[in-house]
Structure 1
Amino acid sequence: MITPEIISLARKLWDYHRMGQPLSKADCILALGTQDTRVAERAAELFHQGYAPLIVFSGGLGKITASIWTQSEAERFAEIAISKGVPADAILIENKSTNTGENILFTQKLLLEKQIEANSFIVVQKPYMERRSFATFKKHWPEKVLYVTSPDLTFEQYIVPELPMELLINSMVGDLQRIKLYPEKGFQIHQDIPEDVWAAFEELAAMGFDRFLIK
């Protein structure tokens, strides 16, 4: 049962994961693969608002999507963007990556192969993966100008049948642990975690929201 106390703790993690950065025009929109197709819709929205002339959709099949889709995340996202009016020739697809680090590294390779010089990026991800995406991108591509955004939804609005509250909280707990541990592994840059946010993490993990924790 999801109690008001659990929701209060989870919202602390949500507010930390979301960076709320203001956006500026960039050379490329980079939409990172996920089961949440609203990320593709957000990328299409930014394209139509004139934020960048190119969208790269990056993602093969991850832990969740491999069990629900046969089509890669990038290909599914590209179809959504085209259905929203984004021209196919404004889209590139990277469909091999299976994690955020590979999203960045394989996109680097793709742009190099296409001889496209992009110096600034708007990365689009799920709201609760903004900070982790920022930290990973800055580790692997520190010289680029970066903005991170996500579908503009509140914590309550984000809950949908395919992403129930329990799965969302487990995911946020797992991502926060990775923000703390991954800099030592060379996967991300360091991010300060406020004491109250880490305390909320520990409480939620102790309550059993440990599905995605690194043991």
Structure 2
Amino acid sequence: MISAQNWSDAHTLWAFQQVGHEPRPCSVGIGLGSHDLGVADATVDLYRRGMFPLVVFTGATSRTTEGRMPKGEAEHYRERALELGVPASVILVEPNARNTGENIRFSRSLLDDQGVHVSSILLVSKPYEERRAYATARKLWPDVEVVSASTGMRLEEYVDSIGDPRLVLDMLVGAQQRLLLYPELGFTIAQDVPDDVVAAYERLRGAGFISRLLAE
């Protein structure tokens, strides 16, 4: 049973984990691999709006995607984009990354190898990964402007799209844990985390939404 307090806390994390950037034209769009094909859809939408001339899809497989995306997350994203009418000539695929840091580093290396000059990147991720994607890119690629975006869904819409409310809350808690831990590990830039966000995270963690937590 998910209580009213649980949902209130989930909304607090959801709001914090989205950066609130207004999408603007960038050198390249980078769709970060995951279980969610909505990331590919959002990347296509931004491409159609003229936000970037070139797309990189990045991602191998993980325990949550190997069954649904056996060709690799980036390749399934590419296929989705082609189905939606994006020209193959503007899509690059990075098939090896297995975490957000590798998404950024391997995409940067791929673009360097292709001779693409990059002054700004528009990162497209799941809604609850916007802030970590931004913080990771700022740490690993500090000389470019970073804009973070997602599908723009409300929490309720995202829960409906996934079909598993408890899993979504577990993922929110796991994402927040990483936002708290990763600066100390050198994976992301440090960010101010409001007290109410920390309190919401701790209540959800105490309520048992822990399947996506890292061992500490």
TM-score (norm: length of structure 1): 0.97
Paired with 2:85 and 2:195, the residues of 1 have a C-alpha distance of: 44
Task: Give the distance between the partners of 1:42 and 1:181, measured in 2 at CA.
Answer: 28
Work out whether residues 62 and 99 of structure 1, in 8 Å CA contact, stay in contact via their aligned partners in 2.
no
Q: 1:163 to 1:55 in 2, by over 3 A?
A: farther
Q: Conserved in 2, the CA contact under 8 Å of 1:29 and 1:121? A: yes
By how many angstroms is 1:19 displaced?
1.1
AA paired with 1:191? Q
Q: Which amino acid aligns with 1:61?
A: T
The answer to whether the aligner puts 1:87 opposite 2:120 as a matched pair is no
Seq. identity, %:
38
Amino acid at match of 1:159: V
* CA positional deviation for 1:162: 3.9
For the 8 Å contact 1:33–1:58, the answer to whether it is kept is yes
Task: Provide the rounded CA distance (Å) in 2 between the counterparts of 1:173 and 1:94.
Answer: 28
Aligned equivalents of 1:73, 1:174: Cα separation in 2 = 20
After superposition, residues 33-52 of structure 1 pair within 5 angstroms as: 33-52=33-52
Distance, in Å, in 2 between the alignment partners of 1:29 and 1:163 is 28
**Structure-2 separation of matches of 1:172 and 1:86:** 31
- Is the contact between residue 13 and residue 172 of structure 2 (CA under 8 Å) also seen in structure 1? yes
Deviations 1:34-64 (Å, cap 9, x if unpaired)? 1110110110111111111000000010231
What is residue 200 of structure 2 aligned with on the other side?
200
Secondary structure class of the residue paired with 1:30: strand
CA contact (8 A) 1:57 1:91 kept: yes
Q: Can you list the C-alpha shifts for 1:138-196, whole angstroms capped at 9, x where unaligned?
A: 00001101110000211111113645111111111111111111111110000111001
- 1:146 corresponding residue in structure 2: 146
Residue aligning to 1:109: 109
State how far apart, in whole Å, the 1-side matches of 2:183 and 2:67 are. Answer: 29
- Superposition pairs of residues 60-209 of structure 1, within 5 angstroms: 60-160=60-160, 162-209=162-209
Quote the RMSD (CA, aligned, Å): 1.1
Moved over 6 A (4+): none
Moved more, 202-211 or 66-75: 66-75
Alignment length, in residue pairs? 215
Which amino acid counterpart does residue 109 of structure 1 have in structure 2? Answer: S
TM-score between the two structures when normalised by the length of structure 2: 0.96
2:165 and 2:153 map into 1 onto residues whose CA distance is 15
On the 8 A contact 1:32/1:103 being kept in 2, the answer is yes
Partners of 1:56 and 1:92 within 8 A in 2: yes
Residue pair 1:104, 1:140 contacting (<8 A) in 2 also: yes
Amino acid aligned to 1:160: D
Unaligned runs of at least 5 residues, structure 2: none
- Mapped partners of 1:140, 1:164: distance in 2: 33
